Amino acid sequence: MAIFLRVYLLLALFSLGSVASATVFTLQNHCTYTVWPGTLSGNSAAALGDGGFALPPGASMQLQAPPGWSGRFWARTGCNFDDSGNGKCVTGDCGPLKCTGGGVPPVTLAEFTLGNSNTDKDFYDVSLVDGYNVGMGVRPSGGTGDCQYAGCVADLNVNCPAELQVTNSGSVVACKSACAAFNTPEFCCTGDHSTPQTCSPTQYSEMFKNACPTAYSYAYDDATSTCTCAGSDYLITFCTTGS
C-alpha cells in the first residue's frame, strides 16, 4: 500500500507539473505618444484587459491568459474617447475603448495560439497581412524550444508607396496591404490564387518582408514567420527599436 501511495503521488506531481499555468503578456509602449492596445480573444474566451485600454509612453501593462487561449493584440493610435469610453481612433479602430471586435486595417498584429500544457507549443507571429500602423515586437521569456523573436522594427510608414498610404492631417499614419488597396485575387490569395502554389510574393509583400524579415508579409508567408515556444511568457512592445 505504501509503495502504491508513493507511485500515485509521483504520478500526481508529474501530472501537475505538466499543466500549464497562466501565460503572462507584458505590453510595453516604446512610442513617444500614447497608444491604445486592443485585444481580441478567440474560442469565446473573455477579452484580456477588457478588450482595450490606454498605454502612455513608457508605460506597461500585464495581462494573464489561460492555457489554450488564442487571440491577437494591436495598437490603436490617435484615439479620442469620452468618459463613457465612446469614441474612435485614427488607426486600428475597434469602436469603444473596450474593443468588441478586431482592429480596422491597416494594423500591425501580434497573434497567439497557446498550448494547453507547459510542454505544448505556443504558436505566435507578428503579421503585416492586414497592413501596418506601428512597429511591434514579440519576445518570449522563460520558455523552451526555438522561442524566436518576432517583429517589425522598421517604420514602414516612412517608405510606404503612395498607393498604399493612409494619411491624416498630411502625415502618413498607416500603410495598407496590397490586398486592401487593390482587392484582387493575386494580392488577396483568393479565387484562382487561393493556394500557396498559386499565390506568390508580390513587390509589395517583398517590400514588407525586406523591411521586417520576421513578420508575416502575406497570407502564405508561414515558413519564416510562424514562431513556436513552450511554457513561455511574452513581452510585446510597440514602436520597438530592435530584436
Q: What is the pLDDT of residues 3-45, one digit of tens each?
A: 433 433 333 433 444 456 899 999 999 999 999 999 999 977 8
Name the E strands within 99-241: 109-113, 121-127, 136-141, 150-152, 165-168, 171-175, 227-230, 233-238
| Alpha-carbon gap, residue 225 to 21, rounded angstroms | 26
Q: Is 60 helix (H, G, I), strand (E, B) or coil?
A: strand
Q: What is the mean pLDDT of residues 79-94?
A: 97
Range of the domain at 54: 21-154+212-238
Q: Most distant CA pair in the chain: distance in Å?
A: 79
Rounded mean pLDDT, 80-91 = 97
User: pLDDT band at residue 241, thresholds of 50, 70 and 90?
Assistant: low
Going by pLDDT thresholds of 50, 70 and 90, the confidence category of residue 242 is low
What single-letter DSSP state applies at residue 164? Answer: G
Q: How many domains is the chain built from?
A: 1
Amino acid at 42: G
Asked whether 27 and 52 are in contact (CB, 8 A), the reply is: no
- Give the pLDDT score at 63: 98
What's the pLDDT score for residue 58?
Answer: 97
Q: Is residue 2 part of a domain?
A: no
Of the listed ranges 5-9, 112-116, 193-197, 212-216, the least confidently predicted one is: 5-9
Task: For residue 102, give the CATH number of its domain.
Answer: 2.60.110.10
Helix or strand run (H / E) with residue 211:
helix 203-211
Say if 220 falls within a structural domain: yes
Q: Which residue has the higher pLDDT, 81 or 9?
A: 81
Residue 150 forms part of a structural domain:
yes
